[in-house]
Amino acid sequence: MTALALVFGTAALLAVLTSAIAARSPLSTSAVFLVTGLVAGPLGFDLVDLDDHVVERTAEIALFTILFTDGQHAPWREVRRRLGAPARALLLAMPLTFAIIAAAGHFVVGLPWLVALVLAAVLAPTDPVFASALVGREDVPARVRNLLNVESGLNDGLALPAVLVLVGVAGGAPENFSTDPGILVVELAAGAAVGIALPVLIWLLLRIPGVGAVASLRPLGPLACAVLLFGICEQIHANQFLAAFLAGATIATLAPDASETFRPTGELVSEMVKGAALIAFASLVDLGTLGTAGWAGVILAGLVILVARPAPIVLTLVGTRLTMAERLSVAWFGPKGFASVAYAVIVAFSGMDMADDVLALTTVVVLASIVAHSSTDVTVARRLSTPPA
């Protein structure tokens, strides 16, 4: 634990010291945390060697935090006004991405079809942790931010049931998760319900005469809501990822002032949790993992980043109001990250055949995606930049 604290503190300090450079260059704070984690992890000095369960849990908390924060960029009125493009990305592009990754897993890597389908479900969702680099920039056109935000905010929660069902079909039994489709639907519904109901309840409580928050403590309101929501989801086995995003969107709709007050705190907490998750993820990257994935994993990573995401997005967004430059930017910026890591660790502990292969391949794809997307977010944002309203 002491070594982990030293590594995290060092990475955080380096991220602060290089943040001015990162704001105008391909260097990113994510890359600083990742490189620090790799140097301190099994590939370097082996100071940090975390249990896979710890990595999974850290990834889940990072996802939840980012989804809750990003949801506050998507009040319901904005989502309704620009629903067409995100709906296409979720309902058309994501299934096509799934199919392309499954085919690549079978024909390129040589996985059996069922294992390839599990891998595709793990890698199909776009990660909100790195998509948030564009979502939070006011100079990026609102329709692009809304598309990336809603897509990445919802597809993680929707992908988890698919992963679990396929693992069950493949003979796996994930720890602490059901593979029964009926139960998973109930968990999705519960996540949506509690994600909307809890902020509404808190909003109603704050309207009671005599109840209110002093200005200095207002940012703690949404933070308290997030912590309580996470605990409730854990207790009732609701889908916490869907709940987090919907809760953020509900707060932004009902209490925009509270959401605006919380935003700096939320973004700072999200950045720190993301850094911790990157260091935890780096502990998965060792010679054994890279050896298991092999060159097939490198080729798969290239196909996932350059084909499986871009081609379906460009195709399905034809006819929308997005310009070609915006469509290409959205097509490129489909990072794979902590959602995929968390799901791959679930698969690894399920007892499914070739589960270690799924984890190794996912690790290589996510590593490549973090490097590629975290080093190009500034460039993409500049090309899309418009004067803030």
Q: Where do runs of H (alpha helix) occur along 45-127?
A: 52-71, 76-81, 84-88, 94-107, 113-123
Whichever domain contains 160, its CATH number is 1.20.1530.20
The reported pTM is 0.85
Does a structural domain hold residue 334?
yes
Which value, to the nearest 10 degrees, does the dihedral of the CA atoms of residues 173, 295, 36, 16 take?
-100
274: its two tokens: 């993301």
Question: 223: burial class by Cβ within 10 Å (0-12, 13-18, 19+)?
Answer: middle
Residue 7 C-beta-side C-alpha neighbours within 13 Å:
28
Position 132 scores a pLDDT of 58
Does a structural domain hold residue 42?
no
Q: How confident is the model at residue 321 (pLDDT cuts 50, 70, 90)?
A: confident
Question: How many other C-beta atoms are found inside a 10 Å radius of the C-beta of residue 73?
Answer: 23
**pLDDT surpassing 90 at residue 229:** yes
Does a structural domain hold residue 36?
no
126-171: pLDDT as tens digits? 876 666 566 667 777 878 888 888 887 788 788 889 999 999 998 8
Q: How confident is the model at residue 375 (pLDDT cuts 50, 70, 90)?
A: confident
Position 315 scores a pLDDT of 92
Distance CA 65, CA 366 (A): 19
Q: What's the chain's average pLDDT?
A: 85
Position 131 scores a pLDDT of 61
Full domain range(s) for residue 254: 52-384
Position 95 scores a pLDDT of 94
Query: Mean of the pLDDT values across residues 329-335?
Result: 82
Does a structural domain hold residue 274?
yes
Position 236 scores a pLDDT of 93
Question: How many other C-beta atoms are found inside a 10 Å radius of the C-beta of residue 304?
Answer: 29
Using DSSP's 3-state secondary structure scheme, residue 380 falls into: helix
Does a structural domain hold residue 46?
no
Query: Mean of the pLDDT values across residues 295-309?
Result: 93
Does a structural domain hold residue 30?
no
Q: How far is CA 245 from the centre of its chain?
A: 11
H or E stretch including 163? helix 142-169
Least confident of 55-69, 121-135, 298-312, 358-372: 121-135
Closest by CA position to 119, among listed 301, 251, 317: 301
Domain tally, the chain? 1
Position 104 scores a pLDDT of 96
Does a structural domain hold residue 21?
no
**pLDDT surpassing 80 at residue 108:** yes
Using DSSP's 3-state secondary structure scheme, residue 184 falls into: helix
Question: 264: burial class by Cβ within 10 Å (0-12, 13-18, 19+)?
Answer: exposed
Does a structural domain hold residue 43?
no
Query: Mean of the pLDDT values across residues 308-315?
Result: 93
